[in-house]
Amino acid sequence: MCAMVNKRFISRRNFIRKSSQIAQSVYLASITGLSAAISACGGGGGSNTGNTSQNGQTSTPSDNSSPSSVTLLPVPALDNGTFAENGTREFTLNVQSGESEILKGISTATLGYNGNLLGPTLRMRHGENVSIAVSNSIDETTTVHWHGMHVPALMDGGPHQTIAKNETWVAQFTVLNEAAMVWYHPHTHGKTGSQVYRGLAGLIIVDDDISDNTALPRDYGIDDIPLVIQDRRINPDGSLAYMTVMSDKMGMKGDHIIVNGVENPLFKAPAQWVRFRILNGSNARIYNLGFSDERSFYRIGTDGGYLERPMEVKRQILAPGERIDVVVDFSADLSSALSIKSYSSELPGSMMGGGMSMDALDSEDFEILSIQVDRVAVNEVALPSVLTSVELLSADAPDRVFTLERSAGVFTINGKAFDSKRIDERVSVGATEIWEVINNNGMPHPFHVHAEFFQILSRDGVAVKEVDFGWKDTVLLNPFETVRIIVRFQDFPDPDAPYMFHCHILEHEDNAMMGQFVKV
C-alpha cells in the first residue's frame, strides 16, 4: 500500500532463491511435525486435535529433561493453501467446535477454524489472487473478518457478510498488503466478543520481495514465532466463563493468561536472533510487554508492516487488536532461561481500565511466556539497520472528528450507538484525511479502522513520537486523550457496502461503540 518506495524486481536470482526457500520450508515441515499444517489446507478433515503443533523440538533429547508440568509452546499450523489452475491461492476454513486443554489437565469446550481452537496461519504473497472458502459448522451465525487486509468492503467479513449454519462464504481478493502479520476473527453483530472468546481467531502472514530478502529471522515456528496473547476465565468444570459479573460489561478479562491457546507455555529457543510476531488477541486486556531480565529488544514492524528502522525498547504496550513484530538477541544465552512478562504494575491505573474494568492483573506484573535457550543457532540471521521506507502521508481533505463516550450504559461514537442500517461517514476515494479521535471517557479504547492503514500524527497535540511510528490499523487512546491519525482512501469505491470503525475492546464494540463508513 505504497509503504515501500524501493520498487522491487524479480530477477532470475531471486526466483531461484525463492524456489530453494520453498523446498527448505517443506523439508522443515516434515521433520518438525508441522506437516499437519500442509494437510490442514485440504479443508477441515475431522480428526485433527487442533491447529497447533509444538514448536519443532519435540524430538530433541532436551525435552526429556522438561518437567512434565511444562507445556511446550504450540505454534499455529502453517497453511500455504493450494493453487488453482488459474494461479489463485485457495484456502478453506471450517468453523467448528471442539474440546481443548487450555489449562493443563482440564478439558474446555472451545471453537476453532479447522480444529478445536484458534486457526491455521494463512500465508500469502503480495500481488496474488486469493480465495478463502469459509464454512460454518457451529450452531450459530458467524462472519470472518480479515483484520488488517486491504480488501473491498464486500470481502471484508464484517457484520454484513454473515455465514449461517452449514453455509459457506467465499472471500476473494488480491493481496495488496505489504509484508505484515494481520489476523482473522468473527465480526458477528453483537456476538464478536463471545465468539472470539471461545477460540475463533487466526493469523495471516503476508510476504513480499522485501520480506523474502531480509536477513531477519523468518523460519516459521523455528526462529519466527507467532504469539497470540489472550486471557480467559475458566469455571471449575472447565467451561469458559463469559460475561458472568457486572464488570465484564466494561471489557471481559480473565485470570489465566494464555499464549497460542495454552497457559504458561515454554518456548525452546535457538541461541540467535529470534523474532516474535505478537498479536494481542484478548477481548479487553492491555499488556505492557518486556523481558524478565530487562534486556532490550527491537521493534521491527507494526500492524501494517515494517518500520523504516529497528527501534530498541525495553517495553511494548499492546492493546486488543494490535500487533507488534519484534526481534531479540539470544546468541549469548545458551542454556539460560528467561521469560516474556507483562509489567502491568508500571502502567497508570487509568490505562488499564480505570474503575470498574480493572482487575487484579491490571496492577501486577505477570508471566506470559517462559523461554529456555536450549540450542545453538539454527539459522544465520541478523538485524538489518534499515528495513524499508515509509511514505509520510499529508492530508488533502477536511478533518473528521470521532468522539468516544459512554452514556446510559451504552458505548457510543459521536453520540450514536451502532446501527447496521446507518452509514455514518462517506469518504472519497483518492482523499487523504485526518481523523481526530477524542476519548471522552475514563477508560482506554483501542480505535480500529477496517481495511486501511493509517499513521499517527499526534497525541493531545504533541507531535508523534518514535513509539507511534509506522503503519497502524488500531491505536490505543488513553482516558481523555485525543489522537490525530491520517488515512488515505485509495480504491474500492462502493456506496452500498460499508466498512466498520470501532473500539477493539470487544465488549465495547458489541455494545455499540462502532460506526460504518463507505468509500465513494
Binding site for Cu ion (CB under 5 A): 147, 445, 450, 503, 505, 508
- What are the C-alpha distances in Å from 391 to residues 174, 305, 471? 22, 12, 10
Minimum CB distance to Cu ion smaller for 361 or for 505: 505
Q: Which does 505 bind (CB under 5 to 8 A by kind): ligand C2O, Cu ion, none?
A: Cu ion
User: Least distance (Å) from Cu ion to the CB of residue 387?
Assistant: 24
Check the CA dihedral 182-186-189-190 and report its sign: negative
Block residue for cell numbers 513484530: 325
Binding to ligand C2O in span 315-374, by CB under 6 A: 321
Query: Are the C-beta atoms of residues 362 and 353 closer than 8 Å to each other?
Result: yes
Total residues interacting with ligand C2O, rule: CB under 6 A? 10
In angstroms, rounded to a whole number, what is the distance separating the alpha carbons of residues 485 and 500?
16
Quickly tell me which residue has 487509568 as its cell: 350
**Sole binder of ligand C2O in the list 125, 253, 341, 448 (CB under 6 A):** 448
To Cu ion, the closest distance from the beta carbon of 505 in angstroms equals: 4
Listing DSSP states for 198-254 in one string gives TT--EEEEEE-HHHHT-SS---BTTTEEEEEEEEE-B-TTSPBP-S-SGGGGG----
The one of Cu ion, ligand C2O, none whose footprint includes residue 445, by CB under 5 to 8 A per kind, is Cu ion
The answer to the question of residue 187 lying near ligand C2O (CB under 6 A) is yes
Interactions with ligand C2O, residue window 134-173 (CB under 6 A): 145, 147
Per-residue burial over 63-92, b = 16 or more CB atoms within 10 Å of its CB, e = otherwise = eeeeeeeebbbbbbbbbbbeeeeeeebbbb
Q: Which of 472, 504 has the CB closer to ligand C2O?
A: 504
- 466: cell is 518514535
What Rg, from alpha-carbon coordinates, does the chain have? 21
Q: Among ligand C2O, Cu ion, none, what binds residue 503 when CB lies within 5 to 8 Å by partner kind?
A: Cu ion
Of 181, 207, 211, 186, nearest to 198 (Cα)? 186
321 touches which of ligand C2O, Cu ion, none (CB within 5 to 8 A by kind)?
ligand C2O
Contact between 145 and 473 (Cβ < 8 Å): no
Site string for ligand C2O, 471-510 (x = CB under 6 A): -----------------------------x-x-x------
From 309, 450, 484, 508, residue interacting with ligand C2O (rule: CB under 6 A): 450
Residue 177: CB minimum distance to ligand C2O, A: 15
Residues 280, 349: Cα–Cα separation, whole Å: 19
285 binds, among Cu ion, ligand C2O, none (CB under 5 to 8 A by kind): none
The listed partner (Cu ion, ligand C2O, none) that binds 123, CB under 5 to 8 Å by sort, is none
187 binds, among Cu ion, ligand C2O, none (CB under 5 to 8 A by kind): ligand C2O
Contact 187, 195 (CB under 8 A): no
Q: Which is nearer to ligand C2O, 406 or 450 (CB)?
A: 450
309 binds, among Cu ion, ligand C2O, none (CB under 5 to 8 A by kind): none
CA atoms 436, 441, 444, 447: torsion sign: negative
Task: Assign 158 to helix, strand or coil.
Answer: coil
Between 308 and 419, CB nearer to Cu ion: 419
Q: Considering the rule CB under 6 A, would residue 274 count as an interface residue with ligand C2O?
A: no
Q: Is 191 in the site for ligand C2O (CB under 6 A)?
A: no
By CB under 6 A, name the binding residues for ligand C2O.
Answer: 145, 147, 185, 187, 321, 448, 450, 500, 502, 504
